[in-house]
Structure 1
């Protein structure tokens, strides 16, 4: 009976172990789900919406095959749709029944810009044969060739599949227990059988047991063969080792039921990971802003070195471009003239995007070579993107005051609302700030707006304020006079809300100096930047010089006792000519 129990235990153990091993071999589930396109594609752009990418859980491995280069990029779905516009494009959808990608071509336009380097992309790949990402449902992927020919038609998406087999561990363990139990029963059966066959007394005289003869022969010095037990030890050791190995192999977490019962999605090794995606509808993420600023700085460095106004226009606009273009002309005519401050974008200290899904879009950033270095003044950039296919351009590039303290701002992932230029929610409407401050520069404390602005820490007043202007007028000879005036360009005020219900307001102010002779035959001589920009050495009519001043203010909310503070400024000659 003991042998029967041992055999039954062995059979049960082997069956359980075999079933456990089969769970990881013959009956193992596939390790991934693959969906591929079928057919041809004639459109220059293929779009994989977020609904396709998230059709199955886990990372998405994209494989694209085709002749020539393959470009891919992903961004917020609304941004991708806006960038494509009415251009002809193919949109893929996931068919769960046969795990394939179906295509649908829409749009009729053929005008598409170069997608490389677009500020809308979270990430882009120049050679996008294979890459792995993990994107949410509100992010879409675009795949293109060279932009003119049809996009690659052979695209597949691979998702990892949960290959956990929680029954393997218990099966292997139970099988090992039964195998070991069978071994114990087998040994017990052999021992019992041996004891039952031991020496017994005989009733009649006969030959003594063979074992005693063997012992006597051995005692007399004869060599008696001894029965080897090595075979039995080997037979026992092999199943023990096999069972032990099987039991130990079940230690993996994939072989046991999870305690919480939650689905576990395996994470494949990624060849490329995506950038962070914002939760709110903001104009750009922090990573995007850092990349945009880096591109602006790169263009600025090259344009400033080569004095290339056309290159500067690709990343600068408005007052920031006007001061650079004039500076290039001045430096061509005056070797001693200094270049405008460089854009040091090694470190982004502040990144504040506008809360919007439409265009134009505004982004505010404070950049520096090192945000922790208090010896150098950082720069504040106000960047604007006019439409989905345009790049962000710096409209304002302001050097911050040494002791400037920015108001409390929202985190980058939340962004800030852009206020209307004529909003009544601030102590002074954004489009009225420049004119009021220009009056303060002209009249100082006698200005009606003097009480609105804080004077402490305002270094610009000492540079171009009333005292400076009066001193410059006194220095002129009696044969000439100087007149000052201010001009405020239209539609240049940009305001982003702060956490204190106030706003960061960027404005542009033109300070005009007009020098004319007061005596017959007298001439006005020019020098330096005015001479280089106007091309006039002297004039009997007079000379007009216009200085552009970019200003950044912190404006408190309406009803606040706080004053408007000047946070930074940049000034420079932008125009000079003979009086007509």
Structure 2
């Protein structure tokens, strides 16, 4: 019976091991779920919609081929549609019923959206819409195209700040992403005359075989059980065999049976021990082989880690917003995501270092505007004559300690960020305001301000939500944002005699000490008696950025200009000191009977608290000041 059971155990072992191996071979499904589509090469762009990218769960492996040059970018769907505007494109969608990708050519339509609140002027009025024809380093001007139009008339997507990432290659581009809903893929020929012709999207399939391990292990156990039964059967068979003939009883006591040598006993024991070790080692090896992969065993389903995941956006309404959204309006979203902002700042930092070194004022217009551009242009001019003049402070690329994008639906749009130079830990962090005038222009720096040593930036919404813009007349603040600049300018002019003096926290304000009444009197006392000086401080026409904070306050960025006018008395003359920065900037080195003038740009970042905050005052968080103009009076 034991032999029969051993045979049954061997048969069961073979069946179980066979089933386990079949789980990993014959019955094993493909590790990828692939969808392929041929692309229409008539249109200059292909857009792969979110429904196609998320047709199956898991990360997406994207393969694009069919042209000498392949360009792939991905970004938020709304941003991509805005950038494309009315340019024709081929849209790749997913047909769920047939489980396949479909293509359709479409003439681009840039849907009219509710305009974002325009930046404020000094009087609180909205600024005019900026021109969309501003040049950029890598994005061509907008153009309307039709199928078959020359590539030269099609805008280039390369280098756009709207994309979360870009990929280029020769003949083939393959990458693995983890894109969520709301993200689209843009494909083009990277400036070539031939568009890619083939797109393949792949998603991983759960290729685990949780029964393979148990089957193989069960087969091994049955095989060992069969061996045990077979061995026991042989031993029992030998013991059950009696002698074929008996010995005479009389000789039993006369026969002398010599004892077995100890050597033989020892060697037999060692042989049995060796066999046991070999069996144990074999069984252990088989057990290890059967459990070498976690895919062989039952386990809870695990989610694959994301490789590249853009920040999701979840905008919320803010009570400080200038207007509540109306039914039918597009949902507001932050101007940028954190990965997008990090990419933009890296580009801007490298660009600024290049133009600051070459002193190329024209090229600087590609990444600077407003007061930030005026400061750099003046610095380049001064350094052309006065070589000892230092370059502007470098633009830090990382880390970004704060990213606060504006909640917008359209353009222009802005973002406030605070960056710290990782290579210079002793240098104060820099607050920057970047603006984007239109979908096809890149972000440009408008304000650059060094944070004050005691600056306490209030808590703000995460970048995935963004901040609502504050109306210049909003009454929920201790001072409306449209009046902050004019009030501070009055303090610089009048000191503690200003009616706004008690509305600001001026204790320890170094800027008030340097450019206010105290600093002005110091400059005045250094002039000869034959000259007089007048100071005038005013708000510039540059846009004012006001963004809400979590405690119902506002962060406000704006610019002032302070003019110093020196005129001679009693028919004398005056001029700039020889070798001074004003002389280098103006080019005027002589003496004037009319007088001379210096213009200083002051960029400011304020925190304006809510009226509900007890004894709250407006606080200066950061500033920068530099000479931007000098001339002889006309």
Asked if TM exceeds 0.5, the reply is: yes
CA distance in 1, matches of 2:179, 2:447: 34
Whether the 8 Å CA contact 2:524–2:533 is kept in 1: the answer is yes
Q: Say which SS state the counterpart of residue 362 (structure 2) adopts.
A: helix
Are positions 1:564 and 2:618 aligned together?
yes
Corresponding residue for residue 553 of structure 1: 606
Once residues 433 and 11 of structure 1 are traced to their aligned partners in structure 2, the CA distance between those partners, rounded to angstroms, is: 90
Q: Is the 8 A contact 1:160 1:266 kept in 2?
A: no
Tell me the residue number matched to 2:455: 404
CA change 1:245–1:511 in 2 (3 A) is: same
Where does residue 14 of structure 2 map in the other structure? Answer: 14
Q: CA deviation at 1:500?
A: 2.2
**Aligned-residue offset at 1:265:** 5.7
Give, in angstroms, the shift of residue 516 of structure 1: 3.0
Change (3 A) 1:49 1:245: farther
Task: Choose from 504, 514, 519 the match for 1:453.
Answer: 504
Q: What is the aligned partner in structure 1 of residue 322 from structure 2?
A: none
Question: Over the residues paired in the alignment, what is the CA RMSD in angstroms?
Answer: 3.4
Q: Distance in 2 between matches of 1:192 and 1:106?
A: 85
- Does the 8 Å CA contact 1:35/1:94 hold for their aligned counterparts? no
User: Does structure 2 conserve the Cα–Cα contact (< 8 Å) formed by 1:64 and 1:129?
Assistant: yes
| Residue aligned with 2:375, SS | helix
| Equivalent-residue separation in structure 2 for 1:238 and 1:192 (angstroms) | 23
The aligned residue for residue 173 of structure 2 is 129
1:119-158 map, 5 Å = 119-127=161-169, 129-147=173-191, 149-158=193-202
Kindly indicate whether residue 298 of structure 2 is the aligned counterpart of residue 257 of structure 1.
yes
Distance change >3 Å, CA 4–CA 301, structure 1 → 2? closer
Whether the 8 Å CA contact 2:35–2:202 is kept in 1: the answer is yes
Residue in 2 that maps onto 1:526? 576
Q: Shift in Å at residue 321 of structure 1?
A: 0.7
Over 3 Å counting, the alpha-carbon distance change for 1:6 and 1:368 in structure 2 is: closer
Deviation at 1:170, TM superposition (A): 3.0
Note the 1:214-293 alignment, pairs <5 A.
248-251=288-291, 252-258=293-299, 263-264=301-302, 273-280=307-314, 281-293=333-345
Alignment of 1:31-70 (within 5 A): 31-38=31-38, 40-70=40-70
Quick one: distance in 2 between partners of 1:82 and 1:274?
23
Partner of 2:206: 162
| 1:11–1:458 Cα change, 3 Å | same
- Contact 1:508 1:551 survives alignment (8 Å): yes
- Structure 2: gaps (5+ residues): 109-143, 146-152, 249-275, 315-332
Alignment match, 1:230: none
Cα offsets for 1:31-86 (capped at 9, x unmatched): 11111113542222222222222211222111122232222122222222222222
Paired residues of 1:161 and 1:265 also in contact (CA < 8 A): no
1:504 to 555, 559, 580: 555
* Counterparts of 1:518 and 1:334, CA distance in 2: 30
Inter-partner Cα distance in structure 2 for 1:316 and 1:19: 68
Q: Which residue of 2 aligns with 1:214?
A: none
Following TM superposition, by how much is the alpha carbon of 1:388 offset from its aligned partner in structure 2, in angstroms?
Answer: 2.1
For residues 238-277 of structure 1, what are the alpha-carbon distances to aligned partners after superposition, in whole Å with 9 as ceiling and x for unaligned? 999998766554424323333xxx544667xx9xx31552
- Per-residue CA deviation, residues 332-359 of structure 1 (Å, 9 max, x unaligned), is 3444444333323343332222233433
- Spell out the pairing of 1:373-388 with structure 2 (5 A cutoff): 373=425, 375-388=426-439
Change in Cα spacing, 1:239 to 1:422, as seen in structure 2 (3 Å) is: same
Contact 1:6-1:181 at 8 Å conserved across structures: yes
Secondary structure at 2:513 match in 1: helix
Query: Equivalents in 1 of 2:626, 2:104: separation in Å?
Result: 55
Provide the C-alpha distance between the structure 1 equivalents of 2:235 and 2:594, rounded to a whole number of angstroms. 129
- In the alignment, the residues of structure 2 paired with residue 530 and residue 158 of structure 1 have an alpha-carbon distance, to the nearest angstrom, of 63
Query: Separation in 2 of the partners of 1:175 and 1:94?
Result: 45
Which TM-score applies when normalising by structure 1?
0.85
The alpha-carbon distance between structure 1 residues 25 and 316, as it changes in their structure 2 partners (threshold 3 A), is same
Q: Helix, strand or coil: the match of 2:68? A: coil
- Write the distance in 2 (CA, Å) between the matches of 1:476 and 1:265: 74
Is contact 2:12-2:219 (8 Å) kept? yes
1:88-487 correspondence runs (5 A): 88-96=88-96, 99-107=99-107, 109-110=144-145, 112-127=154-169, 129-147=173-191, 149-195=193-239, 197-200=241-244, 248-251=288-291, 252-258=293-299, 263-264=301-302, 273-280=307-314, 281-370=333-422, 373=425, 375-487=426-538
Q: Do the aligned partners of residues 302 and 185 (structure 1) sit closer, same or farther apart at CA in structure 2, a change above 3 Å counting?
A: closer
Cα distance, 1:467–1:246 mapped onto 2, change above 3 Å:
closer
SS at match of 1:364: strand
Larger relative contact order (Cα-Cα within 8 Å, sequence gap ≥ 6): 2
Q: Is the 8 A contact 2:346 2:397 kept in 1?
A: yes
Q: TM-score, normalised by structure 2?
A: 0.78
Query: Equivalent residue for 1:576?
Result: 630
Contact 1:64 1:152 in 2 (8 A): yes
* Superimposed CA distance per residue, residues 484-542 of structure 1 (whole angstroms, 9 cap, x where no aligned partner): 2223223521112222221111111111222334434x333233333333333333333
After TM superposition, give the deviation of residue 195 of structure 1 in Å. Answer: 4.6
Secondary structure at 2:414 match in 1: strand
Distance 1:404 1:184 in 2: 80
Indicate the SS of the match to 1:70: strand
The aligned counterpart of 2:260 is none
Equivalent residues of 1:20, 1:169 under 8 A apart: yes
Pick the structure with greater CA Rg.
1
Shift of the 263–177 alpha-carbon distance from structure 1 to 2, 3 Å rule, reads: same
How far apart, CA to CA, are the structure 1 residues paired with 2:523 and 2:2? 119
In structure 2, what is the Cα distance between the partners aligned to 1:428 and 1:456?
A: 18
Q: 1:116 is paired with a residue of what secondary structure?
A: coil
Deviation (angstroms), 1:438: 0.9
- CA pair 168-242 structure 1, distance change in 2 beyond 3 A: farther
